[in-house]
Amino acid sequence: MGALDEHFEIPGAETHPLAGVTMTGAEMIVQVLVDEGVDTIFGYSGGAILPTYDAVFVHNQREQEAGRHGMPLIVPANEQGAGFMAAGYARASGSVGVAMVTSGPGATNMVTPIRDCMADSVPIVMICGQVPSGAIGSDAFQEAPVTAIMGSVAKHVFLVTDPSRLEATVRSAFEIARTGRPGPVVVDIPKDVQNWKGTFHGASRLPIPGYRQRLARLHSANLDTPACDDFFRMLSESHRPLVYAGGGVINAGAAQALREFVATFEIPVVTTLMGIGACDTTDRLSMRMLGMHGAAFANYAVEDCDLLIAVGARFDDRVAGVPAKFARSAKHIIHLDIDASEINKVKRVHFGHIGVLSDALVALLEHGRSTGFRRDWGNWHRYCDELRQTYAMNYDRGSELIQPYYVIEEINRLTKGEAIISTGVGQHQMWAAQYFDFVGPRQWLTSGSMGTMGFGLPAAIGAQFAHPDRLVIDIDGDASIRMNLGELETVTTYDLPVKVVVLNNFGDGMVKQWQKLFHKGRLSASDKSLHKKDFVKAAQADGFPFAVRLDRKADVPRVVEEFVRFKGPAFLEVIIDPDAGVYPMVGPGQSYDQMITGDWIPTRNPSDVVPPDSSQMF
């Protein structure tokens, strides 16, 4: 094979039934997608990606003739929608999502979804067309410097200039996206490479020895007996242990291992925004979400614990606003993560382990069981129960206006923690995190680190394709959904039973909340009360058979039930109290003892509460 030996690893290539067949580059791309188990592609066509789109069409035609599902190509209203659909698919399924777009603006419209996936460690592969190789750098029509643009926001970027490396590159992109700390990988493919013809090898991958060596170290980094002994020594000295679980638990598929660990040793759990679902929120050990808008009882539990076990969490600024004061009573802090850069990055720890989370949790579980570890934390459990009761989430239940919390409580009453919930970004996002239950992982889809408005609707579409038989609900805001409102048509085009809720407070609610607090109510560029948008008519125009506006509190239970029970696409606009706020609230740069709990949730240290300065907004 000559030069191929220099560039490729081809383990077991002869086992592929198509090994040795001559294909175009576009056909190779499609075959690798099939080999990787891709069952749905999200994307928008254009000149530079046409050969591959045509290959997808031909493949699907053959599959349909054979009575098989094929690989449907879902067309959004905008490439950004395709990116968030791929992300929603990946978040809900745990598999790699795929987006396929054209060059130039098609690629640049994907920048925000790629960065969003990188920030939340979501595995997607973006395949984009590029101008022909000879035209790169000439400012050709619809050319963009994809590698330069995406290099700073993706986990990895490939520009395929050698067609003989195409198959290996696409296959390696999936490997990089899903392994280690997951993330987005971009493959930029010139049009002439897609049209090239060559031999398909069936299992070729790029060498990438350094990356694979790091992965091998991670998978071999087992917690040995002395390390487990050290862990349980700290645990045995504790009277108030607490697990702090982050999104890494979900991404690693370690939720079941974590649940078994905490149930066996009876340790209460708080989760980050991205970690919601790692522990069943209805479980007696769940203390729900901590952080800037976390439950007051969760934050107080962090304040009072004497041992903090961080699992797949990164002590980010939304959680540990003042690192020195975070978990200030903890005598020991333990940190388990797959990313070495996260250990001691923000908070110094007494025990750190870098490796596969599920393996680490299973090793600790087996060690604890084999040594007969048992501790009675009954007093701590009772203390946590009291925190939950005293500082429970609450709001003005007697208000004549529709409170958003009430709407979510009613939806939650019907869905019983079983629904997949996506959100936009803003107040509605925090209300959903605070008031919904989640009995399993991968049911909570939200833009955490980037906080990208417009995420909710396309993410719900992606999730519905991942789980056609599950109830998927997008909880959105009037400002956030505007960002990708065109995807309402995508819902009905593919007859998806997605449920969309718009909590309408006529503006950028979170921004307005801060403007009311710190800028004397000057609603600079955030008030949308004069806008003429009729969301219900928009949904009807896009073909929603159920499109209703809810503006009377007395109608909430009936209308919400009709909405949730509706069999097809359903849209519900709820006119909520425009002054409803998100509480609790811990200002940036503030500690939990300065938490503002609002009018309906008690605070245990009123004298410590000092509103943050306006310069600390968000």
Q: Which two tokens stand for residue 107?
A: 């690629």
SS3 of residue 241 by DSSP: strand
DSSP-derived pairing of the beta strands 41-43 and 73-74? parallel
Instruction: Let me know if residue 612 belongs to a domain.
Output: no
pLDDT for the residue 8: 59
Specify whether 142 is catalytic: yes
Do the beta carbons of residue 124 and residue 184 sit within 8 Å? Answer: yes
Instruction: Let me know if residue 252 belongs to a domain.
Output: yes
Q: Using N-to-C axis directions, what is the helix angle for 296-304 and 378-390, rounded to 10°?
A: 150
pLDDT class of 347 with cuts at 50, 70, 90: very high
What is the rounded CA–CA span in Å between residue 415 and residue 418? Answer: 6
Q: How many domains does the chain have?
A: 3
Residues in contact with 609: Cβ distance below 8 Å, sequence separation at least 6, in sequence order: 594, 595, 596, 603
SS3 of residue 560 by DSSP: helix
Same domain (yes/no): 213, 225: no
Last residue of a domain, one of 185, 217, 249: 217
Same domain (yes/no): 377, 490: no
SS3 of residue 357 by DSSP: helix
Catalytic residue among 28, 100, 191, 595: 191
Same domain (yes/no): 377, 503: no
Read off the pLDDT of residues 184-233 as tens digits, 9 standing for 90 and up.
999 999 999 999 999 999 999 999 999 999 999 999 999 999 999 999 99
Read off the pLDDT of residues 446-478 as tens digits, 9 standing for 90 and up.
999 999 999 999 999 999 999 999 999 999 999
Instruction: Let me know if residue 613 belongs to a domain.
Output: no
SS3 of residue 8 by DSSP: coil
Catalytic residue among 141, 260, 386, 418: 141
CA-wise closest residue to 172 among 226, 125, 233:
125
Read off the pLDDT of residues 293-326 as tens digits, 9 standing for 90 and up.
999 999 999 999 999 999 999 999 999 999 999 9
Residue 104 belongs to a domain with what CATH number? Answer: 3.40.50.970
H-assigned helices in 425-472:
427-435, 456-466
DSSP class of residue 205?
A: B
> What residues form DSSP beta bridges with 198?
23
Same domain (yes/no): 39, 163: yes
* Residue 550, pLDDT above cutoff 90: yes
* Residue 160, pLDDT above cutoff 60: yes
Q: Which two tokens stand for residue 4?
A: 């191929």
CA-wise closest residue to 496 among 462, 533, 536, 519:
462
Catalytic residue among 510, 513, 563, 595: 510
Specify whether 191 is catalytic: yes
CA-wise closest residue to 107 among 186, 196, 191:
186
pLDDT for the residue 5: 42
Same domain (yes/no): 325, 455: no
SS3 of residue 94 by DSSP: coil
Same domain (yes/no): 230, 204: no
CA-wise closest residue to 480 among 450, 516, 509:
509
Instruction: Let me know if residue 271 belongs to a domain.
Output: yes
Read off the pLDDT of residues 349-405 as tens digits, 9 standing for 90 and up.
999 999 999 999 999 999 999 999 999 999 999 999 999 999 999 999 999 999 999
Do the beta carbons of residue 602 and residue 399 sit within 8 Å? Answer: no
Instruction: Let me know if residue 616 belongs to a domain.
Output: no
Last residue of a domain, one of 198, 217, 236: 217
Same domain (yes/no): 378, 281: yes
Read off the pLDDT of residues 401-435 as tens digits, 9 standing for 90 and up.
999 999 999 999 999 999 999 999 999 999 999 99
DSSP class of residue 255?
A: H
Catalytic residue among 142, 256, 540, 616: 142
Residues in contact with 403: Cβ distance below 8 Å, sequence separation at least 6, in sequence order: 395, 396, 397, 576, 577, 580
Catalytic residue among 8, 36, 42, 79: 79
Do the beta carbons of residue 288 and residue 391 sit within 8 Å? Answer: no
* Residue 149, pLDDT above cutoff 70: yes
Same domain (yes/no): 422, 320: no
Instruction: Let me know if residue 548 belongs to a domain.
Output: yes
Q: Using N-to-C axis directions, what is the helix angle for 225-237 and 357-370, rounded to 10°?
A: 70
Q: Residue 500 sits in which domain range?
A: 404-575
Last residue of a domain, one of 217, 236, 268: 217
Specify whether 510 is catalytic: yes
Specify whether 130 is catalytic: no
Same domain (yes/no): 383, 443: no
Read off the pLDDT of residues 490-543 as tens digits, 9 standing for 90 and up.
999 999 999 999 999 999 989 888 788 778 889 888 899 889 999 999 999 999
Read off the pLDDT of residues 83-121 as tens digits, 9 standing for 90 and up.
999 999 999 999 999 999 999 999 999 999 999 999 999
DSSP class of residue 9?
A: B
pLDDT for the residue 513: 86
Specify whether 64 is catalytic: no
Residue 271 belongs to a domain with what CATH number? Answer: 3.40.50.1220
Q: What residue ranges in 246-381 does DSSP mark as E strands?
A: 269-271, 286-289, 307-311, 332-337, 351-354
DSSP-derived pairing of the beta strands 241-245 and 156-159? unpaired
On the 0-12 / 13-18 / 19+ scale of CB atoms within 10 A, 567 is exposed
Q: What residue ranges in 493-600 does DSSP mark as E strands?
A: 499-504, 546-550, 570-575
Q: What is the 3-state secondary structure (H, E, C) of 122-143?
A: CCEEEEEEECCHHHCCCCCCCC
Same domain (yes/no): 163, 233: no
For residues 561-566, give the mean pLDDT.
98
Instruction: Let me know if residue 368 belongs to a domain.
Output: yes
Same domain (yes/no): 44, 59: yes
Same domain (yes/no): 502, 563: yes
Q: Which two tokens stand for residue 383?
A: 């203390």
* Residue 240, pLDDT above cutoff 90: yes
Instruction: Let me know if residue 297 belongs to a domain.
Output: yes
pLDDT for the residue 78: 97
What is the rounded CA–CA span in Å between residue 555 and residue 543? Answer: 24
What is the rounded CA–CA span in Å between residue 379 and residue 560? Answer: 40
